[in-house]
Chain A
């Protein structure tokens, strides 16, 4: 019928306009490509509250694309890619703040007074595992029986957490990511790390991590949609006692990593008012 054909043409035109407006084709949309294998609700959407998936050997599976949990107020139009409080101050949730050694407290005061212009994030340098946890760029965890591999959007970088039973290295070559080995304690993956480079910035304030540090991360996937992590830093050179904070990630059920190269087009450093010589 003529009316039916007109209506069909209208639908096609509407769809074409919709696609043109959003400049996409359905088959090429990796930005929102849905993850396979997630449990679903009655309406077909992912059930993020379902129990955490398990691997063939019965361990919780931490695999997925993850985004750091946001705990700062959002702008009027929403909360995407908002950095959490811990990005600026890793000890934000601690009642008495971070237990800095006096020199570390003075260092943080000096860094914040200069608007953190030497922040390695700003200089496009590697930023270490803690700042990577709090950075609002996506991460992908790939879990195999012997290795937990974390792929980061930031500078298309990676981190390896070995779960093959190897001990921590003795006298390791200092590294931005350190050396990590983990083992399962019931449903919690307990990861120990050492071998850090000296003076890694744990946050934008410049809280230091020294080469003397030992770090423990306890990962627990409490539901499909939530990965909780407890971070303990034991660094007597910079802190008067070990301290523990909680950092969590939320699953991105329909997202894929996009490379984010900091050096691609860095144009801010030249405009900073507190100029310093780059490392």
Chain B
């Protein structure tokens, strides 16, 4: 198998990796499905833990100020069964996240998709928590 073909296969595999997880809590209790956002930033930390893996990223707001945002993913149990590992996201990675804002105004987002710098899109939502796209 050529290296190039293998690379494409790996990329396709990761793209197909759906990463929903255990419905630890109600989506509606915490996030606003009427407030979709897209945020781009640089990863500062990954917490590969239950009940939800989460990562943090420095995001520049419109005025150029850097704010550290928290992004919620699914459970590592589900993530790993879809091909993610605790090394899949590293501090310094530039990512673009599509998700939904927390209702309480904090810098917290439920990540539905995460795109890496090279464009590979990875679905990261906890799809069975009742959030958008889950029913």
Residues of chain A touching chain B, judged by Cβ–Cβ distance below 8 Å, are: 10, 13-14, 17-18, 21-24, 31, 72-83, 87-88, 114-117, 119, 121-122, 124, 135-138, 153-154, 204, 255, 258, 260-262, 264-269, 271-274
Other CB < 8 Å A-B pairs besides A72-B128, A124-B51, A268-B24, 5 of them? A77-B15, A77-B123, A80-B18, A83-B128, A260-B75
**Does more than half of chain A's interface fall in helix, strand or loop, or is it mixed?**
loop
| Contact A17 to B6, CB < 8 A, known contacts A137-B22, A271-B108 | yes
Provide the main secondary structure of the chain B interface: loop
Segment with Cβ contacts to A, from B25-33, B36-44, B91-99: B25-33
Q: Max chain B CB contacts within 10 Å: which of A13, A83, A268?
A: A268
Given known contacts A18-B6, A31-B80, A81-B77, A264 and B50 CB-to-CB distance under 8 angstroms: yes
Q: How far is the CA of A136 from the CA of B126 in the complex (A)?
A: 11
CA distance A265 to B48 in the complex (A): 9
Find B10's partner among A13, A21, A121 (CB 8 Å cutoff).
A21
A269 surroundings in chain B (CB, below 8 A): 25
Against A, the Cβ 8 Å flags (1 = close, 0 = not) of B48-79 are 01111010000000000000001010111110
B33: shortest Cβ distance to chain A, in Å? 12
A87 partner, pick from B47, B103, B127, B128, beta carbons under 8 A: B128
Partner among A79, A82, A273 whose Cβ is within 8 Å of the Cβ of B30: A273
Q: Return A156 CB to nearest CB of chain B, in Å.
A: 11
Whether B51 pairs with A265 at a CB distance below 8 angstroms is yes
B interface size (C-beta, 8 A): 51
Which residues on the A side are within 8 Å of B125 (C-beta)?
A: 75
C-alpha spacing A272/B80, complex, angstroms? 27
Query: A22 to B11, alpha carbons, bound, how many Å?
Result: 11
Complex Cα gap A264–B50 (Å): 6
Nearest B residue (CB) for A274 = B29
A80 to B22, CA, bound (A): 10
A271 near B104 with CB under 8 A, answer: yes
- B133: A residues at CB distance < 8 A: 75-76
Within 8 A of A (CB), among B80-112: 80-83, 85, 87-88, 102-104, 106, 108
B3, B16, B128: the one within 8 Å of A78 (CB): B16
**Interchain CA distance A72-B131 in the complex, whole Å:** 13
Question: How far does the Cβ of B99 sit from chain A's closest Cβ, in whole Å?
Answer: 14
A73 to B20, CA, bound (A): 13
Cβ B80 vs Cβ A258 within 8 A: yes
Most central of B18, B51, B78, B108 by chain A CB within 10 Å: B51
CB distance from B44 to the nearest CB of A (A): 16
Tell me the complex Cα distance, A22–B6, Å. Answer: 12
Across the interface, which residues of A come within 8 angstroms of B3, CB to CB? Answer: 10, 13-14, 17
- Docked CA distance A38–B34 (Å): 48
Q: How far in angstroms is the closest Cβ of chain A from B59?
A: 18
B24–A204 CB distance below 8 A: no
Contact of A23 with B87 in the complex, beta carbons under 8 Å: yes
Picked from B82, B102, B106, the residue with its CB within 8 Å of the CB of A80 is B82
